[in-house]
Amino acid sequence: MHRASLLLMWLCLLPCPAFAWQGLVLDVHDGDTVTVAPGGDAATPLAIRLYGVDAPELEQPGGVAARSWLAGQVPAGAEVEVVPYGVDRYGRALGLLQCGPAGQRRTLNGDLVAAGHAWVEPRYCRAKFCRQWARLETRARQERRGLWRDERPLRPSAWRKLHKAP
């Protein structure tokens, strides 16, 4: 395995902002997963699953809108900062995705929830800021933003159970 890939995998295991790293967005896969080139090196792309949130699957209502919203915030070539938050049970790197100038950085995980394009995952979102994200989700629900325009949006985990291949 490439030395840089091993280093990135190790860094993703540490939930410490001191190990945040810069990169360029290569692709927005869906509403909660982006591919980033660490340090701008497209030869070592890393898929980042946004920590603590879950956006609709692309095939379910709200999925394309969630991806479009995220791609509008960080289109291909955008500079981002990734704060590693470990690895999920599927081996995907988890992180906070931040953008904007220093001192004015926005965390897109929470912004995605505030815009009504994702749920906060209480089982997995354990950091202190997750409580704030839960309040943002409640406000998005009340204001019927994004996926909350639907009377009863279905969590992606429930949608996958209903639509898994036989």
Q: Is the pLDDT of residue 11 over 90?
A: no
Burial of 79 (0-12, 13-18, 19+ CB in 10 A): middle
Does position 26 have pLDDT exceeding 80, yes or no? Answer: yes
User: Which residues, in sequence order, are bridge partners of residue 80?
Assistant: 23
Residue 79 or 16, more confident:
79
128-133 long-range contacts, Cβ below 8 Å, gap at least 24? 130/52, 133/52, 133/53, 133/109
pLDDT one-digit tens code per residue, 38-57: 999 999 999 999 999 999 99
Q: Which residues contact 28 (CB under 8 A, 6 or more apart)?
A: 34, 35, 67, 70, 71, 74, 75, 76
Q: Which residues of 33-45 are buried (b: 16+ CB within 10 A; e: fewer)?
A: bbbbbbeeeeebb
**What confidence score (pLDDT) does residue 18 get?**
53
How far apart, in whole angstroms, are the C-alpha atoms of residue 115 and residue 32?
13
What is the average pLDDT score of the chain? 90
Q: Express each pLDDT in 101-146 by its tens digit.
A: 988 999 999 999 999 999 999 999 999 999 999 999 999 999 999 9
Residue where the block lists tokens 């070592």: 44
Q: What is the largest CA-CA distance in the chain?
A: 50
Percent with pLDDT over 70 in the chain: 88
